């Protein structure tokens, strides 16, 4: 079983500081630098915008508090995969792990690292091919056409960074953790510098905190749709906090360390996001934030002058590299645990006798991420499965009630604060978010179709992609029985 991971070579090398840095580093990526503009354009109100960031942060904190109790009861490598396996059975756990490998986590690694290379390109122009050349290598798919050679320099740089980070994490979990500490401290320092620069060196006005857009604020169902879409973007910026549970087998005192790291990390992220958004709004009014192609760069330019653009580019590069490193380190442990349980490719359970890391899981994960980079479908796929991700979040949180009923006497070094209100609130929110996301997706699809635009219903397509896990589960389950 996956709980016996230490017997096959994994070592406990991570403490509270590193695990907390993994929580922060895996969440704070490019979203906080680019999402505020589109969010401001949707709601047109600085107060609603800030309420959405607060709401998403509180919901994330409630989720972290809830999952923390489960982590204290089931401190196993594989994290949420192991929770699903014990609470709901192998099939649900497999579907979760399958979606992580083929789309959610590898897609996140690809898309986040792509942002790194995009900003690198703004400093050092990367190689490109003539449009006629990359268009001649088009590959048609049911949901669109992909162009593997488009932005070839950025894609090569992205894949190179993924390979580099994968190699560092193969060399050792302690080395991956040290890199994460450096990158997370650096990214938080850069964000703090931007906040200080905005408030003390920029030309701002507190009136911007309450002045609505000159274009007006949506009302009625239009406002509901705008808030749902805005919340979706905010939750994406907060996403990734739960992945840290996957490294429990390599953490000192995981029953205590993982819950503490989840709480400290989630609270820190909420504070960081609120302060940086206030800094944006202090320097730029809601309309300028909405119109900005790079709100962080515009604010940095006002605060630091011409060097501001370079400052933001470097800050985003550090931020996205840290997020990618954290995702690479943690996610591979899930696929390793699945392989140990004979529910995934058997080669992924191999552990390096020299470095004590699941090197094959890391290699497979890196290879698939690079393939998604060249396909160019990573953003499309991850958008489709944001809907499904929240179904998993809701299921995981509901598990705290089932565990208390089934295992009332199990040791619980941490019990969720505010039980049952906190987990109930999170589960109910997840349910309503799924319903409104589906409604908004269908509405957006119909509007696009009315204007003659091609578009898929992301949530429905996401469920379709998820359904591919069923034949996969039957294959691996049948194969494992033959080997017994």
pLDDT, position 146 = 78
Mean pLDDT, residues 413-424 taken together: 92
pLDDT (mean) for 447-466: 75
Q: From 272, 276, 260, select the one nearest 17 (Cα to Cα).
A: 260
Q: Which of 9-18, 170-179, 333-342 has the lowest mean pLDDT?
A: 9-18
Strand partners, 139: 146
At 75, the pLDDT band (50, 70, 90 cuts) reads confident
* pLDDT mean over 444-460: 75
pLDDT band at 434 (very low <50, low <70, confident <90, very high): confident
Which residues, including other chains, have CB under 8 Å from residue 65's CB and lie 6 or more apart?
Answer: 262, 263, 266, 416, 417, 418, 422, 423
Average pLDDT (37-60) is 95
Residue 231 in this model has a pLDDT that exceeds 70: yes
The pLDDT of residue 83: 93
The pLDDT confidence band at residue 144, using thresholds 50, 70 and 90, is: low
The domain of 156 spans: 2-483
User: What is the structure's pLDDT at 236?
Assistant: 84
For residue 144, the SS3 value is strand
- In this prediction, residue 454 carries a pLDDT of 63
Number of domains in the chain: 1
C-alpha to C-alpha distance for 399 and 156, rounded to whole angstroms:
42
Per-residue CA distances from 333 to 3, 52, 59, 263 (Å): 12, 33, 26, 21
How far apart (Å, rounded) are the C-alpha atoms in residues 76 and 79? 6
State the Rg of the chain over Cα.
22
CATH code at 94? 1.20.1740.10
Nearest to 476 by CA among 322, 342, 312: 342
The stretch 19-34 carries a mean pLDDT of 88
Whether the per-residue pLDDT at 104 is higher than 90: the answer is: no
- Per-residue pLDDT at 238 exceeds 70: yes
């Amino acid at each position: 079983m996956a709980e016996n991971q230490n017997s096959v070579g994994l070592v406990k090398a991570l403490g509270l500081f590193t695990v907390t840095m993994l929580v922060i580093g895996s969440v704070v990526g490019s979203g906080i630098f680019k999402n505020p503009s589109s969010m401001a354009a949707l709601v047109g109100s600085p107060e609603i915008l800030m309420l959405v960031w607060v709401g998403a942060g509180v919901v994330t904190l409630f989720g972290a508090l809830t999952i923390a109790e489960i982590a204290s009861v089931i401190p196993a490598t594989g994290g949420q995969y192991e929770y699903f396996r014990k609470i709901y059975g192998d099939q649900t756990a497999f579907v979760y792990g399958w979606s992580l490998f083929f789309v959610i986590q590898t897609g996140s690694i690809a898309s986040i690292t792509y942002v790194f290379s995009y900003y690198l390109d703004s400093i050092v122009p990367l190689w490109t091919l003539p449009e006629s050349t990359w268009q001649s290598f088009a590959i048609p798919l049911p949901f669109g056409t992909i162009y593997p050679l488009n932005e070839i320099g950025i894609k090569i740089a992205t894949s190179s960074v993924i390979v580099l980070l994968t190699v560092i994490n193969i060399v050792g979990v302690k080395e991956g953790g040290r890199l994460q500490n450096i990158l997370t401290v650096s990214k938080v320092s850069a964000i703090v510098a931007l906040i200080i620069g905005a408030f003390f060196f920029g030309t701002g006005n507190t009136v911007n905190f309450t002045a609505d857009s000159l274009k007006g604020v949506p009302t009625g169902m239009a406002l509901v749709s705008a808030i749902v879409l805005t919340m979706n973007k905010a939750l994406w910026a907060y996403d990734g906090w739960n992945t840290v549970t996957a490294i429990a087998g390599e953490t000192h005192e995981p029953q205590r360390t993982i819950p503490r790291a989840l709480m400290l990390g989630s609270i820190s992220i909420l504070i960081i996001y609120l302060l940086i958004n206030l800094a944006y709004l202090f320097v730029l009014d809601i309309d300028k934030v909405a119109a900005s192609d790079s709100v962080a760069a515009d604010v940095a330019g006002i605060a630091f002058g011409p060097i501001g653009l370079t400052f933001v580019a470097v800050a985003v590069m550090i931020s996205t590299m840290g997020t990618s490193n954290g995702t690479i380190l943690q996610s591979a442990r899930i696929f390793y645990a699945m392989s140990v349980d004979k529910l995934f490719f058997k080669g992924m359970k191999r552990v390096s006798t020299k470095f004590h890391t699941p090197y094959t899981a890391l290699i497979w994960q890196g290879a698939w991420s690079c393939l998604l980079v060249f396909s160019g479908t990573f953003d499309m796929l991850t958008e489709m499965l944001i809907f499904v991700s929240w179904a998993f979040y809701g299921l995981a949180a509901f598990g705290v009630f089932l565990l208390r009923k089934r295992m009332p006497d199990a040791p619980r070094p941490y019990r969720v604060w505010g039980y049952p209100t906190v987990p109930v609130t999170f589960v109910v929110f997840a349910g309503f978010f799924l319903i409104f996301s589906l409604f908004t997706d269908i509405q957006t699809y119909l509007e696009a179709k009315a204007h003659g635009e091609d578009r898929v219903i992301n949530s429905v397509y996401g469920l379709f992609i998820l359904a591919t896990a069923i034949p996969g589960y039957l294959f691996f389950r049948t194969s494992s029985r033959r080997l017994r």
